Amino acid sequence: MKKRKLGKSNLEVSALGLGCMGMSFGYGPAADKKEMISLLRTAVERGVTFFDTAEVYGPFTNEELVGEALAPFRSQVVIATKFGFAPDPNGGPGWPALNSRPEHIKEVAEASLKRLKTDVIDLFYQHRVDPNVPIEDVAGAVKDLIAQGKVKHFGLSEAGVQTVRRAHRVQPVAAVQNEYSLWWTRPEQDLLPALEELGIGFVPYSPLGRGFLTGKIDETTKFDSTDFRNIVPRFTQEARKANQALVDLLSQVAERKKATPAQIALAWLLAQKPWIVPIPGTTKLHRLEENLGAASVELTPDDLRDIHSASSKITVEGDRYPERLEQMTGR
C-alpha cells in the first residue's frame, strides 16, 4: 500500500484508511466484536495504517474495539478519534448536543486514551464546530494536549473555511475531514483550494456515498430499522431511483478499467490531490479487499475528464443529512 502525507504536517499514512464507525454504529446493529477485531488486524496486514473512530460512535464502544484490535500493532498505525459531542453514557436516542468547551476536550482526551489503550492520540479532530465556543479556544485546548504529549496532531471535521483559517493560526491543523465523493463535491468550491494554500491534508469520509456508489443499493433496498440512512433525504426511494445515474456512470468506467464501481469512486478521489486520503468503512473482508484494490487503479487524464464531463450533467437528488445535522456542518 502506497503512503501519503497529510499536507505539510509530516503525518504519513496509507493512501486509503479505514473508517471504523459502521462496525459499531450508524448502519444497523453492531457487528460481531471478534469478527471486527479480525477485520481490523487483517487491514493492518494488508498495509492500512490509518484508522478513524470517535467517542460518539456507539457511544464509546467503537473506540474500545479499535483500541483492542490495534494494541498489538500500535507503533505501526495512526489512530484518529474525535471530540465535540456530549454523548449520553446510557446510549440515549438521538444525536447528542455539541460540547467543545476546553475542559470537556481535555476530559474526552483522557477517556479516549484509556479506551484506545494508548498513551497518545495521533490525530484529534473536533467532530463538529461548536458555535458556543470560539475556535481559538478549541485549538488552544488541543495545543495544550499536544504540549503534554497526549495528542500529536489537530484536525477539524465539517468545518467551514474561515473556521479552518482561524484554528490554524492558533495550532496548525494537520487534516480536515469532510464528506467528499462523486455525489458530494462541494468541498471543491472553496475548501480544497484553502487546504492546498495552507498545507492541510484532506480526509474524505463516506467516499462511497454511504454505500450507494458501490452499486449494491437500489430503490428496492430495505435498511435495518436502526440504520441511519432511513432518515437521510438522499436515501428515500425516489432519490435512490434518480441517483442511480451516477452509479451507472461509475459502472461504465469500471467495465472499461476491469474494476468495480467502488474502486472507480475511490480511485477518482485519490486522483484529485496527492494529500487526499479517503477512509471507506466496511464490516466485510471482501469489501475491504475490494476497496484497497482501488489504490492500484490508474485513471488517466482522459478518464478523469470523461468522469467530470458525465457527472457534471447528473443532478444528485436529496440532501446528504437531515436538517438538524446539516445545520452542524460548514460552520
Per-residue pLDDT of the chain (331 residues; tens, 9 = 90+): 999 999 999 999 999 999 999 999 999 999 999 999 999 999 999 999 999 999 999 999 999 999 999 999 999 999 999 999 998 777 665 678 999 999 999 999 999 999 999 999 999 999 999 999 999 999 999 999 999 999 999 999 999 999 999 999 999 999 999 999 999 999 999 999 999 999 999 999 999 999 999 999 999 999 999 999 999 999 999 999 999 999 999 999 999 999 999 999 999 999 999 999 999 999 999 999 999 999 999 999 999 999 999 999 999 999 999 999 999 999 9
Residue 138 has a pLDDT of 98
Q: Is 180 a catalytic residue?
A: no
The structural domains of the chain, ordered by start, are 3-326 (3.20.20.100)
Nearest CA to 208 out of 156, 281, 132, 312 is that of: 281
| DSSP bridge pairs for 98 | 85
Residue 87 has a pLDDT of 86
Q: pTM for the full model?
A: 0.97
Q: Of the residues 27, 57, 180, 321, which is catalytic?
A: 57
Distances in Å between the alpha carbon of 179 and those of 17, 55, 188, 220, 302?
14, 19, 11, 25, 25
Q: What whole-number distance in Å separates Cα of residue 7 and Cα of residue 291?
A: 23
Angle, alpha carbons 65-69-70 (nearest 5°): 115
C-alpha cell at 228: 441511519
Residue 9 has a pLDDT of 96
Q: What whole-number distance in Å separates Cα of residue 128 and Cα of residue 109?
A: 16
Q: What whole-number distance in Å separates Cα of residue 106 and Cα of residue 253?
A: 47
Nearest CA to 83 out of 117, 51, 118, 53 is that of: 53
Nearest CA to 23 out of 288, 238, 302, 306 is that of: 288
Q: In what order do the strands lie in the sheet with 78-83?
A: 18-19, 50-52, 78-83, 121-126, 151-157, 173-179, 201-205
Q: 3-state class of 286 per DSSP? A: helix
Residue 95 has a pLDDT of 73
C-alpha cell at 312: 457534471
Pairing of strands 78-83, 121-126: parallel
Report yes or no: 145 and 112 within 8 Å, Cβ to Cβ.
Answer: no
